[in-house]
Structure formats: C-alpha cells, structure tokens
Amino acid sequence: MLFTFILMITLTSLVAALLFFTTYETRDIGFQIEDMKLLNLAEAGLQRALRAIRDDVLTTTQTGAADVRGSDTTGSASVTNVDRIRYIDGSTATINNNADVALLKTYDVNYANTRITSVFLGVRASRASGGTGATIQVSYTTNGSFPEGGNTVLTQALTTTLTDYTANISSDRAWNWTTIMNTNFILRAARTAGNRDISLDALYLRITYGIDTNTESWYTGGFATFPLSLGAGTIQSISLTAEQGKVHLNTASQSLLRYLMEERGIASVTANSLATNIVTYRTAKPFDTVEELQQSSGMTTANYDLIKGYVTVYSFINTNAARPTGSRAPININIASREVLEAIFDPLGLGATDAASLATDIINTRATTPFTCFYSSNSAVTTDFYDFVRSRAYLSAIGDPDEQDIVLDNADASNLVPVSGSTGFNAVTTEFCYDTNAFKVESLADIQGRRMRIKMILGDGGAHRFATYNGDTSTTGWRKENFE
C-alpha cells in the first residue's frame, strides 16, 4: 500500500514536471516567434526607408546646374592672357590667328558626389568688329589627344557681344566625375574661320546633377504615415538622417572638430584638447565607427553624448579637395544643422556675430529655396552660394582676402580662388556639397506593446557597407538591434 502511494506521488511529480517544462518551452517558443515577427516588422521599416531613398535617386525632381570651371591652362599656344579663361568675369583672353589654341583642364570638384544628368560644352566669347568675322570651335578629349572620335564639337560664328554658347554632349558617353576629374580631360578652343580677333572670356562645362535637400520626402518624413499597420503589429516610426550633414571624424580639421564641440556646449579648453586627441587617435588608427570616438583620450560619456549625433564616418570623402590639398568630407549645405554650419564658419576669423548670422541666413534661405551650386555664370540661377555670400552686407568686402572671399574660398573645393586677382585663402574647415550618399535609418516596430528598434546605415543605392576613410579597402557596416 505504501509502495503504491509512493509510486503515485512520484508519477504525479513527473507529470507535473513534464507539464511545467512543456509549458515553459511552449512559452519560450512563443516569445521566439514574437521576437522574429518584431524583427521582420522592423526590417520592413528599413526596406520602406530604402525605397524612399531610392525613389529620390530614380525620380528626383531636385537638380542643380553649375558652370564647372578649370584651373590649368598648360599647353595653350599663343593666346594672350590665357589664364583669364579660368574665370567668367569679363576679363578676356585673345585668340588672334588660326594657330592659337586655348586649353583648359583640372576641373571644379565641388560636385563630385552628385548624380550627373546632363553635360554641355560651354564658351563665352565675342569677336572684334570688321573683316570677315570669326568662327570659334570648342572640342574636348577624355584621353588627352585631339581629335577624339565620337565627341561632339561646338562650332559657332561669333558676334561682337560677349555671349554664352553651349553644345549638348550628354549622349556622347555615360558621364561620371571620374572621367571629368581625370587629367586627360581637356577643353580646347580655336579659331577655324574669319580674320578677326576672338575675345575669350571662359571655357567651362555646364553640368546638371541631382541634389538632396530638406524639402524632400525622405527628409520631411512625408514618404509614409505612422503608425503603419502591418499584420499583427505596427511600424511606429522610421527616421532618416543624412550623414553628409555631419562632420567626418577621419577628415575634419582640428578647428572644425573643436568648434563643433563648442557649439554643442563643451567648454573651449576642453573642446580644444578633445579635438587634438581625436586627430592624434585617427593618425594612428582611423575611426571605423562613431562609437569608437569613446576610445579617444579624455572623451567622457557626457561629452560623447553631446556630439555623437553630429559626427560620422560614413559620408562621402572628396579625395580631390584643394587648398590645402588632401581628402575632406564636404558638408551638404541644405541639410546641415545650425551647430555644424556655425562650426564651419567659426574658425575663419570673421566678425564676432558673422558665423551665427551666416548660419541663420542659410537656414532661412534653404527652407524655401535650396542651394543648388557653388557658382553659376547663368544670371537666371539665383540659388548659388557665391551670389548668396556676395549679398551679405555684414561680411566685409575690404582687404585681400576680404571676409566674403574667405567664406567662399573655404566653401570651394576647387583649385580656383573665387575671383581672378584674389590671393586665395586655404580652407581651414571644410567645403559644401549638395548631395548625400549615406543615411542613418531607424525603424521602430511594435507588437502588443513589445517594441524593437533597428538602426542601420544605408546608401542611396542600397549599400550596407562603406569605406570609412580614404584608403579603406575593407568596407564596414553598421547595424544595431534592441528591444524597448
């Protein structure tokens, strides 16, 4: 009897234990299934963000157009004052016989991360009165030799008035900035008919390209309405942040890093020390992630939290930047924060309130009319940064370089100073650009009160991995997942 009782107790315990473990395992599997659903839902948010980015690339209506200037006239033959063709300012070079040849190369690099949509040959020229007139021929080569088969040639009989003439060369080839930046890309101008002198104001390329601004749906969040219901859950939110609006840890000057930290509320002495330590750290080992910034000497959690949203290692790096030469990551003027804009201007030695005034004016202007280029000779273009700066009365136009020239030179990645005759001013922070190639995306999913957030860096073409510094041959990705 006792044995039977003990056996029954034992069997009851085993059954209870089995039921407990079965229930626990079932409950655990249930959580795993829900976790997977949350993950898939958050992933769907990432894909929705990517679609918004790709839609902008494929169907963009926001474009810029610039007269891309050259800086090198080496090889020109018998042209008087040939260096004047580098500028569009009415100061002309002279072609006085049919043996004269004007050559121009080493082109403007302010737009090297943009998507080219059209390319035109451009020339501004006139002729002397009388005689049999003059015809100019403008051609180009991508291989360093003239003529190059298949290339469109601009042939134009000139008048006595300086006039712009263009020829569409978009269909000649699939255009990219690598081709245009190559030293074998050269423009050539010559007189092919007539006997009058040609006054040649400029040779240039007029290029149209896609730009990214703060009026687009990926920036404003207009690409979707949240919360977005999908199946048993919702996508609570999707945020997109353009990395080109941030300061690049591996290329920014010490001054830019320092003043960014000051703009974020870090004391001047501390900011100066931390900026110096960042430059020292990256000299030995470039930053692969923003989080790695915490390993830089003296970087406290509090200071890191103040600047982590304003720095990046994923934005486009311009390897052709000039004055001083090197690699710098330009800042997209249309999306950069006030703090970043002021940090760009703070070290330039302007008037006490000028940096803040410039940042305010940029933000107010781009809210309705985004900037499209650094410079345009086309008087119909009113969205270039050059004319914007020239219209700021609080920037002194006295001295050489004056404050306007200093701001323009700092924002210009090309080899040319803003105007002929200026002595130039080496950039101490970084240049502006007009496009973005990398975005930080955050997707927050919810199922019955349980939430998952995924953060990831995405390229405008869907890339998940990026070179984080010039010379990086092993690209890295960045992704974070966490329950909330």
Looking at every residue in the chain, the average pLDDT score rounds to 90
pLDDT band at 29 (very low <50, low <70, confident <90, very high): low
pLDDT at 10: 52
> Is 451's pLDDT higher than 60?
yes
pLDDT band at 69 (very low <50, low <70, confident <90, very high): confident
Q: Are 294 and 316 in contact (CB under 8 A)?
A: no
pLDDT at 57: 79
> Is 396's pLDDT higher than 90?
no
pTM of the model: 0.89
pLDDT at 326: 81
- In whole angstroms, give the CA distance from residue 176 to residue 93: 30
Task: Determine which of 14-23, 219-228, 271-280, 442-451 has the lowest per-residue pLDDT on average.
Answer: 14-23
> Is 233's pLDDT higher than 80?
yes
> Is 467's pLDDT higher than 70?
yes
- In whole angstroms, give the CA distance from residue 322 to residue 340: 21
pLDDT band at 5 (very low <50, low <70, confident <90, very high): very low
Mean pLDDT of 6-26: 49
Domains (range + CATH), the chain: 63-210 (2.60.120.260), 217-477 (no CATH)
Task: Tell me which amino acid residue 267 is.
Answer: A
> Is 24's pLDDT higher than 50?
no
Give per-residue pLDDT as tens, 413-439: 888 876 677 777 778 899 999 999 999
Q: Are 341 and 362 in contact (CB under 8 A)?
A: yes
> Is 85's pLDDT higher than 80?
yes
Q: Are 228 and 51 in contact (CB under 8 A)?
A: no
Mean pLDDT of 261-277: 98
Contacts 24+ apart (CB under 8 A), 53-61: 53/218, 53/240, 53/439, 53/458, 53/460, 54/460, 54/461, 54/462, 55/217, 55/218, 55/223, 56/212, 56/216, 56/217, 56/218, 56/460, 57/115, 57/210, 57/460, 57/461, 60/115, 60/210, 60/211
Local structure of residue 67 (DSSP, 8 states): E
Instruction: Output helix, strand, coil percentages for the chain, rounded to the nearest 5.
Output: 35, 30, 40
pLDDT at 400: 61
Give per-residue pLDDT as tens, 345-357: 999 999 999 999 9
pLDDT band at 30 (very low <50, low <70, confident <90, very high): low
pLDDT at 61: 74
Contacts of 157 (CB under 8 A, 6+ apart): 133, 134, 135, 193, 194
Q: What are phi and psi of 153, to 5 degrees?
A: -120, 135
Other Cβ atoms less than 10 A from the Cβ of 167: the count is 18
Q: Which is higher by pLDDT, 427 or 361?
A: 361
> Is 23's pLDDT higher than 50?
no
Question: Tokens at residue 241, please?
Answer: 């942040």
Other Cβ atoms less than 10 A from the Cβ of 299: the count is 16
% of the chain with per-residue pLDDT over 70 = 92
- In whole angstroms, give the CA distance from residue 1 to residue 478: 68
